[in-house]
Amino acid sequence: MLLRWVAALGRRTDGLHKGTRMPQNTLKDITRTDLAALVKVSLALAETLDIHRVMQIAVEGAVEVLDLDSAAIYLCDGDHIILGATTPALPADFPQQYRRARVADHPHLVRANAAAQPLFVPDVRQVELSSAEQGVMTARGIRSVLFAPLVSQGNTVGTLILGTSGRTYEYTADDVALSRALSALIAVSVVNARLFEEAQRAAAELICAYDSTLEGWSFALEMRDADTLGHTERSALLAVEMAASLGVPHRDLPQVRRGALLHDIGKMVIPDAILHKPGPLTDEEWVVMREHPKYAKDLLSRIEFLSRAVDIPYYHHERWDGTGYPEGLAGEDIPLSARVFSVIDVYDALTSDRPYRRAWTRTEALAYIREQAGVQFDPAVVEAFLTRMDDTRSS
């Protein structure tokens, strides 16, 4: 990679930027020591995809490689530029208006970027500066300055600005070659970091969109059973809290929530005649009803976003003693999130009116949960559940 940049440098013979003093540079101007320094910066840049870290490493690396006093990076943002990083750090009284500025107020930077060539001002006192430029140079104590456009694949993404303070400085051919190599390196890293940020933002937005869809499904499922409106949301909240307190890793909690919201999605395929039957189910009807976790798995495992949320929908009717369905798993073979959810689900079912029976009282339902510890339910989950229910009562 580095060799490709270096080769590209060698091909450029147009090192002289109109109207400025800029020595020619060729491949031979980059020494072995320079190469080693560039590789070091390159490795440091490769360590992170955080745009702010990338820019900070870049300015610090640039000052070190070129043995100068200060460096800054501005990123292009339409017709504005944004100050991304500086070294040394900006003085405390650095005017806020210079952090994001109109590009037109920085004519030297504009010229460098337009030509896609470094532009060198040996002594800022000897040239005409705009008031914004004057302000920044004064605030940062800059004497000589080099503007190196950050160009990646033909796009100027920003500008690296190198400077001395309290001394003028004539840039050598070597410095120019180095600043070109550095700005090429930095431009690639900045672009990568930006792409990564965008990809992350897009992924977050996609997750948000999926989650809204899923909340909609969950609501639609509840509508089919008007008595239970609002219960699914409450059960999902409780499931996430209890799963967290019983040791489900933090990163898995969104899956717990999604699984809980969709726990009975498999009931979509259960005919109303069975689902809403006002009495006990026949053996044949039970066969159909017991299929609902399998339908859920078939459905969810096809959806990449939900495939890891399948544990609760698939295993919430397993029993601790191994007599549940669909797999007949026992004890800790049942995923923890499903062991947690089954207690919440049964409590909720018992305390709700069902077509086949009236709601039980809170006391009756809690007594049933307690009695089923170690039979239907994980005793540790029952204990956590009962403690929570005590807390809710007394609060």
Contact positions toward ligand C2E, by CB under 6 A?
A: 277, 280-281, 289, 317, 345-346, 349-350, 354-357
User: Is residue 280 helix, strand or coil?
Assistant: coil
> Can residue 225 be called a binding residue for Fe ion (CB under 5 A)?
no
How would you classify the pairing of strands 145-152 and 70-77? Answer: unpaired
> Can residue 262 be called a binding residue for ligand SIN (CB under 6 A)?
no
> Can residue 264 be called a binding residue for Fe ion (CB under 5 A)?
yes
Minimum CB distance to ligand SIN, residue 61 (Å): 16
CA gap 32, 38 in Å, rounded = 10
Among ligand SIN, ligand C2E, Fe ion, none, the one that 354 touches (CB under a kind-dependent 5 to 8 A) is: ligand C2E
Options 140, 258, 317, 319; binder of ligand SIN; rule CB under 6 A: 140
Q: Which is nearer to Fe ion, 12 or 290 (CB)?
A: 290
Lay out the site mask for ligand SIN across 331-360 (x = CB under 6 A, - = otherwise): --------------x--xx--x--------
Q: Which is nearer to ligand C2E, 205 or 364 (CB)?
A: 364
> Can residue 133 be called a binding residue for ligand SIN (CB under 6 A)?
yes
Minimum CB distance to ligand SIN, residue 76 (Å): 13
Q: Which is nearer to ligand C2E, 244 or 359 (CB)?
A: 359
> Can residue 222 be called a binding residue for Fe ion (CB under 5 A)?
no
Minimum CB distance to ligand SIN, residue 69 (Å): 11
Minimum CB distance to ligand SIN, residue 345 (Å): 5
> Can residue 232 be called a binding residue for ligand SIN (CB under 6 A)?
yes
**Dihedral over Cα of 241, 242, 248, 254: its sign:** negative
Q: Which residues contact 349 (CB under 8 A, 6 or more apart)?
A: none
Look at the chain and count its residues: 395
Q: Which is nearer to ligand C2E, 91 or 379 (CB)?
A: 379
Which pairs count as long-range contacts for 226-235, CB under 8 Å and 24+ apart, including other chains? 227/352, 227/353, 227/354, 228/348, 228/352, 231/348, 231/352, 232/260, 232/261, 232/263, 233/261, 234/348, 235/260, 235/263, 235/341, 235/344, 235/345, 235/348
Please count the other Cβ atoms lying within 10 Å of the Cβ belonging to residue 80: 14
> Can residue 252 be called a binding residue for ligand SIN (CB under 6 A)?
no
Q: Which is nearer to ligand C2E, 140 or 297 (CB)?
A: 297
* Alpha helix ranges (H) inside the chain: 2-11, 32-46, 51-66, 107-115, 131-140, 173-223, 231-245, 253-261, 272-275, 283-289, 292-301, 311-315, 336-350, 362-371, 379-394
Of the listed pieces 4-12, 104-112, 244-252, 282-290, which binds ligand SIN according to CB under 6 A? 104-112
Q: Which residues contact 48 (CB under 8 A, 6 or more apart)?
A: 54, 57, 193
Q: Which is nearer to Fe ion, 61 or 259 (CB)?
A: 259
CA gap 53, 259 in Å, rounded = 37
Among Fe ion, ligand SIN, ligand C2E, none, the one that 355 touches (CB under a kind-dependent 5 to 8 A) is: ligand C2E
Q: Which residues contact 26 (CB under 8 A, 6 or more apart)?
A: 9, 10, 13, 173, 177
Which pairs count as long-range contacts for 212-216, CB under 8 Å and 24+ apart, including other chains? 214/258, 214/261, 214/262, 214/306, 215/261
Please count the other Cβ atoms lying within 10 Å of the Cβ belonging to residue 98: 18
Tell me the site size for ligand SIN, rule CB under 6 A: 20
Q: Which is nearer to ligand SIN, 133 or 175 (CB)?
A: 133
Of residues 139-198, which lie at the interface with Fe ion (CB under 5 A)?
Answer: none
Nearest Cα neighbor of 95 from 130, 135, 145 is 135
Minimum CB distance to ligand SIN, residue 231 (Å): 3
Q: Which is nearer to ligand SIN, 136 or 296 (CB)?
A: 136
Of the listed pieces 33-41, 194-202, 227-235, 271-279, which binds ligand SIN according to CB under 6 A? 227-235
> Which spans of this chain sit near Fe ion (rule: CB under 5 A)?
264
> Which spans of this chain sit near ligand SIN (rule: CB under 6 A)?
72, 106, 108-109, 133, 136-137, 140, 142, 161, 163, 228, 231-232, 235, 264, 345, 348-349, 352
